[in-house]
Amino acid sequence: MSTETIDHTTLSRLAEAGAVRSAHIVGQKGGWGVLVKYGMTERALAAQRSREVRIFSKFETLVNYLKGVGIARFEVDAVNYDPAPKPTRSRPDRAVAMKNAHEAAAHDKWFREQVTLALKEADDPATKWVSNEEAEASWAKQRAALLKRVEGKAN
C-alpha cells in the first residue's frame, strides 16, 4: 500500500465535495486498508493517532465507515488478505496503570464520603463533644492498662 496518507477529516471533506474518484479496499495481513483516489492523487487512509495506514480488522466496519463518509461504491482486492491478526505491541504496564487509577478513584470517592459524613456529624446539634483533657485522660488510662498487660505477660 501507499505510504502517503490522508486523514479522516480530509477524506470527509473530499467526499462531501464529490471529489473522490474511487476507493479501493485492499486486503492484507490482519485486515483491510483503504486507498482513496481524488484528482490524480491516490492516498491510504491514516489512523488518527499514529498517522500510519489504518487497518480495519472487520470488513463490515470498513463498509460502514465508508458509507458514513459518503462513499458507497468501491472495489475490493482480497488477493493478499490474511485474517491472521496484525501483531500488536503489548503494554502490560497500561493494565497496571489503569488498575492503579481505578483504585485511586475508588479511594478518593471513599475519602470524600467520609469527609462529608464527618462534616454532617460535626454540624449535628446532638453530637456529643469531648474535650482535649477528657480524650488525653481516656488514652492515658488505655495506655496504662496495655502496659500492665504487657508487663504481666513478660513475667
Three-class secondary structure assignment of the chain = CCCCEECHHHHHHHHHCCCEEEEEEEEEECEEEEEEEECCEEEEEECCCCCCECCECCHHHHHHHHHHHCCCCCEEECCCCECCCCCCCCCHHHHHHHHHHHHHHHHHHHHHHHHHHHHHHHHCCCCCCCCHHHHHHHHHHHHHHHHHHHHHHHC
Q: Is the pTM of this model over 0.85?
A: no
Query: What is the per-residue pLDDT across 78-105, written as a single tens digit (0 to 9) for each?
Result: 999 988 776 667 778 888 999 999 999 9
Query: What is the per-residue pLDDT across 123-151, written as a single tens digit (0 to 9) for each?
Result: 999 999 999 999 999 999 999 999 999 98
Query: What is the per-residue pLDDT across 28-40, written as a single tens digit (0 to 9) for each?
Result: 988 999 999 998 9
pLDDT bin (cut points 50, 70, 90) of residue 2 is very low
